[in-house]
């Protein structure tokens, strides 16, 4: 007998006391949804779109992301300023990043190719991306690998990540609302502040392996 | 079944002996106390932010219960979805089989190194040791796991495995051991946490950048989509999940959830229960493999579905609720016994209250350590109160105590067997001493959360087994309306020098 059959057989025998176990859930999932009482909130509290953006900014900052606000037309200048302040000599941009975003930037632009090695990425100073959705209640950015966000590794290996969020459109209040907007077949990365550890006597230290600096630009009016 | 050696795990001393050693270790005790109290208070605040916590908890419980009710269907559906997305699914009945599968998969790549992201399942099966025996080096990449691995140590907490080490010890371990594993610690390394973290970043980065094979566990697997989820803080998980060409994930079969939507519950309850954050820094979700064109992540993905005692646990009508566990570790942080005894005393990768009910079910109660675990509790109920999937740990503990003492029918490796009562055996004596350890420490009990009146229904007139011997000597009262702690405080004054206590305090 294969281990698959062995394990599934054990499961079925283990559930012998459960009356309807053998029938299984209805194909359309309705029986399952009926059994799981989703009496919890879709979002916590009622907020205007502006208030939701404010909450996002507050929670991002609380987890030590550096938050900036700008209007769409101010973005190129702001990005240029952030990268210059960082002293970035090279900046990586995913293929679908709007070209004008980086038009004022001095740093050399590095293209990400499928063949780029992790070592090459390790030499890049900064990376600039968009995002798929941002969650206000938790201060979370979600990247889904779209063309303006690129492969997961480009926002992981470089030490400085600047993420542009189009507000208010890309901002939702809560985790349930965010999941509803996302496509599970895409590779997803949820980011809440820079990487951190509390493994040494529970002292929080920012930045173990991911980017140690996360800057978020909340861009309105596009 | 009796005393069946658990593959991959060394023999452990029974709980009371190990607990005594821990109590004598003042560094460990101070670290544990600081850590558990800090997380405990933060968690309470994080939970209080959500006014629908009770509903989220109930939904989490129901999702897990519904999944377990139809576990065979959901596993089949999961397999289908993962395969459709380009992954390969393997089934491992026990630790040895899982280790064999992973070893062969690594061998097939021609590599002799793998990078690992912290996973309870791979610790449970002793994967690192099994790989090492075949000449494959597994590098732990979680900072705490790195400390544990370099220190040739065992983890003591689910979430903060190096909680028993302080910064000075960590610096010494880094200085002495890093060089033998790869990039040495920088000269003049001090014991500030930021410097230590930086040393780990440099040491591990060279391993991440050249790694061709990654090994992980998963927090959740979604049956309908085939999506796997890893929740983490440091970014080492992202490294292991995205940079290698081959990814192997070893996951317990109970980690499946039916729908994508179910994640909306656990992504709210897990971070708040575990690290007391609104959201942990990084969560990765992936479905199958990436294609050559996008090249975003591993081209080969293997999912190893692990039984290793889980189906036996599922067969127990009372004990199966332990399979709802999402490994948040909230129950450890509120447990007065854990705080005193430390994680190592539990003799398993699953310490604390959840370990006390999970290990004896996964492994059986044949060994002294496993027979004593159900007694490593004062039944104060704090663990149940904080559990985000409402596992009634005291209920399962009492059930397992009965099992140890009175024997009865259990399932081992898929087969129903009848256990003999442990009376008079080494196991019973170990259990007895564990009970003694707990009851001899009213101070420990008082440190716990309030003793919920709900635990009263777990107070039989006489405690089963070792408890029975104990209660015979101690005159266990009816405890109708009085919390256990108060009763203890009141009665231990006079005739409190019973045999159980004497035995444990006579170091
Ligand atoms: S038993 Fe509950 S509280 Fe303990 S680790 Fe598991 S889910 Fe968390």
Q: In terms of Cα–Cα distance, which of B262, B267, B260, B236 is closest to B119?
A: B236
pLDDT attached to residue B502: 26
Query: pLDDT (tens digit, 9 = 90+) per residue, B61-119?
Result: 999 999 999 999 999 999 999 999 999 999 999 999 999 999 999 999 999 999 999 89
Q: Is the pLDDT of residue B461 over 80?
A: no
Q: Is the pTM of this model over 0.95?
A: no
Please report whether residue B50 resides in a domain. Answer: yes
Residue A168: asked if its preceding bond is cis (omega within 30°), the reply is yes
In this predicted structure, what is the pLDDT of residue B472? Answer: 33
Q: Write down the domain spans for chain A.
A: 3-35, 49-220
Q: How confident is the model at residue B468 (pLDDT cuts 50, 70, 90)?
A: very low
Backbone dihedral angles phi then psi of residue A114, each to the nearest 5 degrees: -55, -30
Question: Is residue B425 within 8 Å of residue B410, measured between CB atoms?
Answer: no
- Segments of chain A scoring below 70 in pLDDT: 20-28
The answer to whether residue B427 scores a pLDDT higher than 80 is no
Cβ-Cβ pairs closer than 8 A, A with B, add up to: 268
Over range B465-492, report the average pLDDT.
35
pLDDT for the residue numbered B61: 97
pLDDT of residue B424: 63
| B471-484 tens-digit pLDDT | 333 333 333 333 33
Give dist(CA B179, CA B502) in Å, integer.
48
Indicate if ligand 1 lies below 6 Å from the C-beta of B327: yes
Whether A63 has its CB under 8 Å from any CB of chain B: the answer is yes
State phi, psi for A189 to the nearest 5 degrees.
Answer: -125, 120
**B342 occurs within a structural domain:** no
Of the residues B329, B351, B359, B377, which should be mutated to test ligand 1's pocket, given the most ligand atoms within 8 Å of the CB? B329
Q: What is the β-pairing status of strands B300-306 and A140-143?
A: unpaired
Top-tier CATH class for A49-220: alpha beta
> In the prediction, which pLDDT does B366 show?
75
Two tokens, residue A175: 């985790």
Residue A114, min C-alpha distance to chain B (Å): 6
Using an 8 Å CB-CB cutoff, list chain A residues near B292: 114
Distance A55 CA to ligand 1 centre (A): 30
**Is residue B326 within 6 Å of ligand 1 at its C-beta?**
yes
Checking if the pLDDT of B460 tops 90, the result is no
Going by pLDDT thresholds of 50, 70 and 90, the confidence category of residue B147 is confident
CATH code of B236's domain = 3.40.50.10420
The whole-number average pLDDT for the span B372-390 is 92
Coil, strand or helix at A115: coil
Whether residue B388 is contained in a domain is answered as no
Distance from CA of B206 to the nearest CA of A (A): 9
**B484 within domain boundaries:** yes
Looking at B310, B325, B349, the residue that finishes a domain is B310
Which structural domain range is residue B471 located in?
A: 444-499
Mean pLDDT of chain B: 82
Whether B417 is covered by a domain: the verdict is no
Which of the four pLDDT bands, split at 50, 70 and 90, describes residue B506? very low
Which residues in chain A have their CB less than 8 angstroms from residue B116's CB?
Answer: none
**Averaged pLDDT, B174-179:** 92
Does position B205 have pLDDT exceeding 70, yes or no?
Answer: yes
**Contact across the interface for B292 and A188, Cβ inside 8 Å:** no
Q: CB–CB of A156 and B297 under 8 A?
A: no
B9/chain A closest Cα distance in angstroms: 22
Q: Is B328 in the pocket of ligand 1 (CB under 6 A)?
A: yes
Residue A204 backbone dihedrals phi, psi, to 5 degrees: -75, 130
Would B412 be classed as within a structural domain? no
- State the average pLDDT over residues B378-383: 91
Confidence at residue B12, expressed as pLDDT on a 0 to 100 scale: 62
Model confidence band, residue B53 (pLDDT cutoffs 50, 70, 90):
very high
Q: Give the residue with greater pLDDT, B72 vs B158.
A: B72
Write out chain A residues lying below 8 Å of B282, CB-based: 189-192, 195, 210
Last residue of a domain, one of B242, B277, B310: B310
Between B419 and B228, residue with greater pLDDT:
B228
Strand ordering across the sheet containing A171-172? A171-172, A133-135, A140-143, A188-191, B282-287, B227-232, B220-222, B256-257
Give how many domains chain B has, as a whole number. Answer: 2
Contact residues on chain B for A138, CB-CB shorter than 8 A: 271, 278-279
Last residue of a domain, one of B273, B293, B310: B310
pLDDT digits (tens, 9 = 90+) for A114-150: 888 889 999 999 999 999 999 999 999 999 999 999 9
CB atoms within 10 A of CB B506: 6
Pair B290, A187: CB distance under 8 Å: yes
- pLDDT at position A49, please? 96
Least confident interval from B116-125, B146-155, B157-166, B197-206: B157-166
Whether the predicted pLDDT of B23 surpasses 70: no
Q: Where are the alpha helices (DSSP H) in chain A?
A: 3-14, 30-35, 49-62, 75-86, 118-122, 175-181
Q: What is the ipTM of this complex?
A: 0.96
For the stretch B378-404, what's the b/e string if a residue is b when 16 or more beta carbons lie within 10 angstroms of its beta carbon? bbbbbbbbbbbbbbbbbbbbbbbbbbb
Q: What integer pLDDT is reported at residue B488 of this predicted model?
A: 35
Q: Is A7's CB within 8 Å of B142's CB?
A: no
pLDDT of A25: 56
């Amino acid at each position: 007998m294969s281990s698959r059959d062995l394990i599934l057989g054990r499961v079925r025998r283990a559930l012998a006391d459960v009356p309807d176990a053998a029938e299984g859930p209805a194909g359309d999932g309705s029986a399952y949804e009926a059994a799981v009482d989703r009496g919890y909130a879709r979002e916590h509290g009622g907020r205007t779109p502006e208030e939701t953006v404010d909450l996002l900014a507050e929670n991002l900052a609380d987890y030590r992301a550096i938050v900036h606000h700008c209007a769409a037309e101010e973005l190129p200048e702001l990005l240029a300023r952030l990268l210059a302040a960082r002293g970035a000599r090279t900046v990586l941009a995913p293929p679908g990043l709007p070209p004008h975003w980086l038009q004022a930037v001095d740093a050399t632009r590095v293209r990400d190719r499928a063949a780029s090695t992790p070592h090459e990425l390790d030499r890049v100073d900064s990376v600039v991306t968009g995002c798929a959705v941002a969650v206000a209640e938790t201060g979370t950015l979600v990247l889904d690998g779209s063309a303006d966000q690129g492969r997961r590794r480009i926002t992981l290996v470089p030490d400085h990540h600047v993420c542009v969020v189009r507000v208010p459109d890309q901002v939702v209040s809560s985790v349930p609302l965010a999941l509803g907007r996302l496509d599970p077949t895409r590779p997803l990365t949820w980011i809440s502040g820079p990487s951190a550890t509390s493994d040494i006597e529970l002292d929080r230290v920012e930045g173990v392996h991911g980017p140690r600096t996360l800057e978020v630009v909340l861009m309105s009016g596009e | 079944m009796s005393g069946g050696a658990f593959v991959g795990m060394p023999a452990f001393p029974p709980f009371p002996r190990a607990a005594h050693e821990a109590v004598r270790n003042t560094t460990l005790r101070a670290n544990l106390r600081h850590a558990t109290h800090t997380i405990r208070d933060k968690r309470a605040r994080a939970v209080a932010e959500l006014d629908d916590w009770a509903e989220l908890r109930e939904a989490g419980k129901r999702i897990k219960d519904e999944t377990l009710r139809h576990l065979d269907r959901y596993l089949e559906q999961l397999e289908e979805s993962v395969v459709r997305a380009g992954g390969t699914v393997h089934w491992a009945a026990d630790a040895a089989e899982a280790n064999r599968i992973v070893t062969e998969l690594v061998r097939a790549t021609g590599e002799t190194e793998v990078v690992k992201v912290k996973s309870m399942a791979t610790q449970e099966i002793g994967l690192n040791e099994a790989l090492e025996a075949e000449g494959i080096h597994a590098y732990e990449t979680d900072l705490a796991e790195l400390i544990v691995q370099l220190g040739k140590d065992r983890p003591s907490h689910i979430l903060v495995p190096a909680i028993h080490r302080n910064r000075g010890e960590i610096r010494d371990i880094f200085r002495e051991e890093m060089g033998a594993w790869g990039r040495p610690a920088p000269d003049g390394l001090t014991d500030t946490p930021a410097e230590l973290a930086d040393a780990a970043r440099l040491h591990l980065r060279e391993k991440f950048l050249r790694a061709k094979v990654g090994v992980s566990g998963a927090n959740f697997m979604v049956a309908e989509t085939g999506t796997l989820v890893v929740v983490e803080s440091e970014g080492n998980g992202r490294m292991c999940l995205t940079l290698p060409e081959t990814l192997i994930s070893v996951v317990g079969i109970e980690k499946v959830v039916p729908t994508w939507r179910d994640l909306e519950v656990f992504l709210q309850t897990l971070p708040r229960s575990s690290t007391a954050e609104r959201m942990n820094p990084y969560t990765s979700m992936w479905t199958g493999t990436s294609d050559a064109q996008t090249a975003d992540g591993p081209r080969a993905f293997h999912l190893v579905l692990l039984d290793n005692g889980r189906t036996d646990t599922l067969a127990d009508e009372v004990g199966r609720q332990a399979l709802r566990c999402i490994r948040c570790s909230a129950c450890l942080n509120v447990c007065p016994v854990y705080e005193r005894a430390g994680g190592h005393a539990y003799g398993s990768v699953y310490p604390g209250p959840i370990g006390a009910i999970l290990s004896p079910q996964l492994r059986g109660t044949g060994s002294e350590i496993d027979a004593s675990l159900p007694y490593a509790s004062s039944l104060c109920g704090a663990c149940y109160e904080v559990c985000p999937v409402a596992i009634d740990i005291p209920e399962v503990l009492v059930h397992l105590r009965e099992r140890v003492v009175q024997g009865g029918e259990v399932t081992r490796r898929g087969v129903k067997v009848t256990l003999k009562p442990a009376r008079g055996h080494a196991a019973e004596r170990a259990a007895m001493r564990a009970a003694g350890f707990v009851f001899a420490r009213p101070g420990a009990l008082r440190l716990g959360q309030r003793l919920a009146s709900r635990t009263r229904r777990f107070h039989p007139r006489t405690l089963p087994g070792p408890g029975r011997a104990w209660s015979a000597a101690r005159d266990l009262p009816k405890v109708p309306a009085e919390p256990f702690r108060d009763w203890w405080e009141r009665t231990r004054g006079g005739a409190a020098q019973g045999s159980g206590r004497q035995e444990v305090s006579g170091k």
